[in-house]
Amino acid sequence: MVIAGAVKVLKETFGFEGFREGQEEAIRAILEGRDVLAIMPTGAGKSLCFQVPALMRPGLTIVVSPLIALMQNQVEALRLSGVAAAAINSARSREENVEIWRRVAAGEIRILYMAPERLMTERMLQAIEKIGPTLFAIDEAHCISQWGPAFRPEYEELRTLKTRFPTTPVIALTATADALTRDHIAEKLFGGKADRIMTGFDRPNLELHVSMKQTPKAQVKKFLKTRKGESGIVYCLSRKKVEDFAAFLAKEGHLALPYHAGMPSDARARNLDRFMLEDGVVMVATIAFGMGIDKPDIRFVFHTDLPAGPEAYYQEIGRAGRDGLPATVHMLYGFDDIRMRRMFIEEEDTDDDRKRREHQRLNALLAFCEAPECRRQTLLAYFGEDIAPCGACDTCLEPVETLDGTSAARIAFGAIQDTGERFGVGHVVDVIRGGDTEKVTKFGHDRLASFGEGRDMPNNTWRTILRQLVARGFLEIDIAAYGALRLAPKAGGLLRGEEEFRYRPDVKSKSETGSKQKTREAVADLAPEAETLFARLKALRTDLAKARGVPAYAIFPDKALIDMAARRPANDEEFGEVYGVGKAKQKKFGALFLDAIRQEVA
């Protein structure tokens, strides 16, 4: 009976016929008064896990969200679906926030969004106690582990909610949490006692690519060659690089905008609005951009630099393809990325145990980058998930045979030891290949036994071998010695014949050259005449979104327009059967879209 009521809310309010994996289980637990930790991949419909029970139970649901932009997007989407939702945050005037709270106290608001800093004040908690909330939902719950207590201590304070509101169920939701982070969240929020719902981490619609960093601007240019008119994100490590790449891509004819924390807040807000409201915008950004950006039609994410670890990478690529349609993610990385990431970890003001964990996370991401076989298998194994080869990553689509590099590794070890483990990759390669450089001569390294031992292989091959030796744990980068290579304990096993080393030659990814156009599959199954109708419906959606100042997907997602173009509903009843059309949207937009369909098919 409970779930029948939930299905009715799902259909009438949100226009969906049935629940996805994990949603029904989470909703049932909440309605039965239990706490929930839900780990679901991006795009799996986590928000419905608290929005549906919020509409089934009387009273107020409070959603804790880290970013104003995320709150506003969800509130706008809920209002268009006929849900009384609101947000109290610093982007509003005091008068506006007071008016919203008056409506909350009067029982006119069903779902209220707040940042933890706003919620966890004594005054606000006392006001909420008088109302008696029916549910707390903590979105982006991994922030409890990653941000508290130093950065946003109020995330840490959320642990007191269960003490203060012992009979109010709490649901914590995230797409990004390894086993350690999951345990940490559960312990902090629930004392370890909560229903854990995990639906897996796989995003099968994402095509994964990694390639060696060579000339990043040229590589990004090639990648974007066939992607004009698509929304996407290009991530850069520094603010300066963001500005540089945004200017470069704009010069190349792309609608590219910068976004980083060093920009004036009004400029950031303008660029964010354009990205959310317009089609075909490429946001060039630091990781300051992205969390909670619920734009479903992002068709690509391109990393010009190595992320901090598998969780960060998974979270950042998770912004692509939230609508379930094909999307491509591509990462460049090289030796300097590894050195920089190691340096960031060592310079972080934290204890040795945290530094050790961060180095281990980076090691796991390097293993993903250098995976000789299915890349998705390697990534998901980190999160404890075992899958068959995916057939949709570069190592599956463009398999490369690994080569025996054990002898080459011994030559590299010899050169590193002969030079005192004091030099970086460039100089070590010069010694191995017998390079006639000023530095080699200055230190007398042309007289070493290892000098010139590997002159039969080119420079780039040796750099590939050294990079993969670092990624596989045979070599380490000594940050204190400015990035010098040194032998790791594991190297001893290879020298004694107990270990072998195979390496994967670098190849140019087809994704990078722009030869694939999988994103066109968004409307692949439509007949030619339906594609024309889809374009017309998309233009109508854009006009409606601009008139209301909301993102286009808040009117209808692409999936809904594709379904309309395929079904061609002729009346209001048929329109109500379209994917994503609930009663409120049927009433608001039905006549407009039906008219556009009739004009096209007449």
Q: What is the pLDDT of residue 191?
A: 82
Question: Where along the chain do the CATH 1.10.10.10 domains lie?
Answer: 403-506
Task: For residue range 416-427, list pLDDT tens digits in order.
Answer: 999 999 998 999
Mean local confidence (pLDDT), 539-552: 87
Q: How confident is the model at residue 572 (pLDDT cuts 50, 70, 90)?
A: very high
Taking residues 313-327, report their average pLDDT.
89
Q: How confident is the model at residue 147 (pLDDT cuts 50, 70, 90)?
A: low
| Contact yes or no for 79/555 (Cβ under 8 A) | no
Of residues 303 and 274, the one with the higher pLDDT is: 303
pLDDT in tens, 357-380: 888 888 889 888 888 889 998 888
- Evaluate if residue 144 carries a pLDDT over 90: no
With 90 as the cut, is the pLDDT of residue 411 above it? yes
- Could you tell me the fold of the domain covering 206-397? Rossmann fold (3.40.50)
pLDDT for 155 equals 76
Decide if pLDDT at 356 tops 70: yes
Residue range(s) of every CATH 1.10.150.80 domain in the chain: 525-601
Superfamily of domain 525-601: HRDC domain (1.10.150.80)
What is the second-level CATH architecture of the domain 2-198? 3-Layer(aba) Sandwich (3.40)
The answer to whether 484 and 477 have CB atoms below 8 angstroms apart is: yes
Boundaries of CATH 3.40.50.300 in the chain? 2-198, 206-397
What SS3 state is found at 206? strand
Burial 451-460 (b: 16+ CB within 10 A, else e): bebbeeeeee
The pLDDT, as a whole number, for residue 518 is 46
Give mean pLDDT, residues 526-542. 84
Least confident of 109-123, 147-161, 245-259: 147-161
Q: How many CB atoms lie within 10 A of CB 440?
A: 19
Given a cut of 80, whether residue 136 has pLDDT beyond it is: yes
Q: Is the pLDDT of residue 341 over 50?
A: yes
pLDDT at 387 over 80: yes
Does pLDDT of 149 surpass 60?
no
Report the alpha-carbon distance of residue 451 to residue 77 in Å, rounded.
Answer: 65
Helix/strand/coil for 322 = coil
Look-up of token digits 């689509």 = 397
Share above pLDDT 70 across residues of the chain, in percent, rounded to a whole number: 93
How far apart are the C-alpha atoms of 167 and 136, rounded to whole Å? Answer: 11
Would the pLDDT of 468 be above 80? yes
Helices 352-369 and 375-382: crossing angle in degrees, nearest 10, is 160
Q: pLDDT exceeding 90 applies to what percent of the chain?
A: 48
3-state SS of 539-573?
HHHHHHHHHHCCCHHHHCCHHHHHHHHHHCCCCHH
Alpha carbons 554 and 295: distance in angstroms, whole number = 9
Ramachandran bin of 48, using left for φ above 0, alpha for ψ from -120 to 50, beta for the remaining angles: alpha
Quick one: how many helices (H) and strands (E) in the chain? 30, 17
pLDDT, averaged across the chain: 87
Domain 403-506 has CATH 1.10.10.10: yes
Q: What is the pLDDT of residue 514?
A: 44
DSSP letter, residue 136: E
Q: What is the pLDDT of residue 292?
A: 58
CA separation for the pair 602, 302 (Å, rounded):
42
pLDDT tens-digit profile of 152-174? 677 778 888 988 999 999 999 88
Task: For 18, list phi and psi in degrees, rounded to 5.
Answer: -155, 170
| Nearest CA among 483, 340, 383 for reference residue 176 | 383
pLDDT beyond 90 at 494:
yes
| Band of pLDDT at residue 52, cut at 50, 70 and 90 | very high
Q: Strand, helix or coil at 59?
A: coil
Question: Residue 291's pLDDT band (boundaries 50, 70, 90)?
Answer: low
Residue 511: what pLDDT? Answer: 59
Residue 119 confidence (pLDDT) above 60: yes
Copy the structure tokens of residue 210. Answer: 């990694």
pLDDT of residue 516: 42
Contact (Cβ atoms closer than 8 angstroms) between residue 232 and residue 416: no
Tokens of 261: 């924390």
Q: 68-82, 144-158, 455-469: which range is least confident on average?
A: 144-158
Q: Where are the beta strands (DSSP E) in 95-236?
A: 111-114, 135-138, 170-174, 195-198, 206-212, 231-235
Residue appearing with tokens 């106690």: 129
Residue 144 belongs to what H/E stretch? helix 143-146
- Does residue 517 carry a pLDDT above 50? no
Answer whether residue 575 shows pLDDT above 70: yes
pLDDT of residue 405: 93
Specify whether the CB–CB gap between 282 and 255 falls below 8 A: yes
Q: What pLDDT, on a 0 to 100 scale, did the predictor assign at position 219? A: 95
